[in-house]
């Protein structure tokens, strides 16, 4: 699949070579009283970048935070896909962090990929690169946690679903609204099938509904809901369970889960990505959905199916 083939361009050597070099150090006291007032060492890389990494240490366990920082909704475009991949691979190549937290700046997680780039010209570049981000998450020998507050929509939810654990603020809003743009989420479809029931996957992908976390109806997607404003405390409690464990065994365990997940995703996502790029992106309803969104109006859908061909209706 293009998404996984693309990862060849981000091998260990090239990803390291492209990492920004400007760093600054920060030391602060952990706010969590259960941490024993342990000092948290932080390394902040390129804070003016839309994606940066913060490294911490708690009770001898190394933790990395991948922070999406493109206000106001932390939307991911083609260039930011590259930065996200580089950030993930920098953590992988350092091979120190055994907990990786993905979160958004400004009380927002991520509202997905840039809809302005959902065009026949740019989507063949954006979609494989974004899928490569999800694949890169599965290359980490670490327990991965999505820390969700604010909006977690479309590609943002797909990024969260690429993590092992999803912790959300009760006020967060989650959904896969792509169908309202005249398209569908290839990765979200595969991920929902692996984390939830078939019926939930169908409903989530086919309705485009957006749910408040406290009312989220699909089991298996959200692992823990935090009271409003208490997401960091919930993260602290989650991390506390790992502090006394062997970092080496955490790495080994995570690797096994991630290998199995990649094996399950790869073939299905390859086929869906191909269908999307060959049939969906050029469909008149896909163009209309994107244009209507950008023009802030209701879409006017075509009257015909407009499938790739009659054979698409055959099983």
Asked if pLDDT for residue 314 goes beyond 70, the answer is no
Residue 48 pLDDT class (50, 70, 90 cuts): low
Sign of the torsion formed by the C-alpha atoms of 205, 207, 210 and 212: negative
Report the pLDDT value the prediction gives residue 266, as an integer from 0 to 100. Answer: 84
CB 127 within 8 A of CB 172: no
First vs last Cα of the chain: how many Å apart? 22
Distances (CA, A) of 15 to 85, 102, 131, 159, 170: 8, 19, 17, 20, 36
Asked if pLDDT for residue 90 goes beyond 70, the answer is yes
Percent of the chain with pLDDT over 90: 73
Tokens of 91: 């953590």
**Ramachandran region of residue 36, left (φ > 0), alpha (ψ -120 to 50) or beta?**
left
Return the number of other C-beta atoms located less than 10 Å from residue 255's C-beta: 15
Who's near 101: CB < 8 A, 6+ residues apart? 63, 64, 65, 66, 144, 145, 146, 147, 235
Report the pLDDT value the prediction gives residue 305, as an integer from 0 to 100. Answer: 55
Counted residue by residue, the chain has a size of: 315
Return the number of other C-beta atoms located less than 10 Å from residue 36's C-beta: 10
Dump pLDDT digits (tens) for 102-161. 999 999 999 999 999 999 999 999 999 999 999 999 999 999 999 999 999 999 999 999
**What 3-state class would DSSP assign to 29?**
strand
Closest among 150, 37, 118 to 292, alpha carbons compared: 118
> Would strands 143-148 and 99-104 be described as parallel, antiparallel, or unpaired?
parallel
Closest among 242, 240, 307 to 278, alpha carbons compared: 307
In degrees, rounded to 5, the angle at the alpha carbon of residue 32 between the alpha carbons of residues 232 and 157 is 15
Residues with a catalytic annotation lie at 158, 178
- Give dist(CA 72, CA 67) in Å, integer: 13
Dump pLDDT digits (tens) for 209-227. 999 999 998 888 999 999 9
Tokens of 17: 């070579």
- Give dist(CA 29, CA 41) in Å, integer: 9
The fold of 2-231+240-313 is 2-enoyl-CoA Hydratase; Chain A, domain 1 (3.90.226)
Tokens of 102: 């993905």
Domain coordinates in residue numbering, the chain: 2-231+240-313
């Amino acid at each position: 699949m293009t998404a996984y083939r693309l990862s060849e361009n981000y091998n260990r050597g090239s990803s390291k070579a492209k990492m920004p070099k400007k760093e600054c150090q920060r030391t602060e006291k952990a706010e969590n009283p259960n941490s024993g007032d342990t000092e948290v060492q932080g390394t902040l890389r390129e804070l003016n970048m839309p994606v940066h990494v913060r490294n911490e240490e708690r009770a001898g366990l190394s933790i990395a935070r991948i922070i999406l920082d493109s206000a106001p909704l932390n939307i991911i475009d083609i260039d930011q896909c590259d930065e996200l991949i580089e950030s993930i691979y920098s953590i992988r190549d350092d091979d120190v962090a055994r907990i990786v937290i993905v979160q958004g700046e400004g009380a927002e997680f991520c509202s997905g990929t840039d809809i302005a780039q959902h065009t026949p010209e740019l989507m063949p570049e954006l979609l494989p690169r974004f899928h490569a981000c999800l694949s890169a998450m599965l290359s980490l020998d670490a327990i991965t946690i999505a820390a969700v507050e604010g909006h977690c929509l479309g590609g943002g939810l797909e990024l969260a679903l690429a993590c092992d654990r999803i912790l959300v603020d009760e006020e967060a809003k989650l959904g896969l609204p792509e169908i309202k743009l005249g398209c569908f989420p290839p990765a979200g479809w595969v991920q929902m099938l692996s984390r939830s029931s078939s019926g939930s996957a169908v409903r989530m992908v086919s309705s485009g509904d957006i749910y408040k976390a406290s009312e989220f109806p699909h089991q298996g997607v959200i692992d823990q809901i935090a009271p409003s404003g208490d997401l960091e405390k919930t993260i602290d409690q989650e991390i506390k369970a790992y502090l006394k464990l062997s970092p080496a065994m955490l790495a080994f365990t995570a690797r096994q889960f991630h290998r199995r997940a990649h094996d399950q995703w790869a073939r299905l996502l390859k086929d869906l990505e191909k269908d999307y790029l060959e049939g969906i992106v050029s469909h008149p309803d896909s163009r209309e959905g994107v244009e209507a969104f950008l023009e802030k109006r209701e879409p006017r859908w075509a009257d015909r199916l407009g499938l790739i061909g009659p054979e698409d209706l055959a099983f």
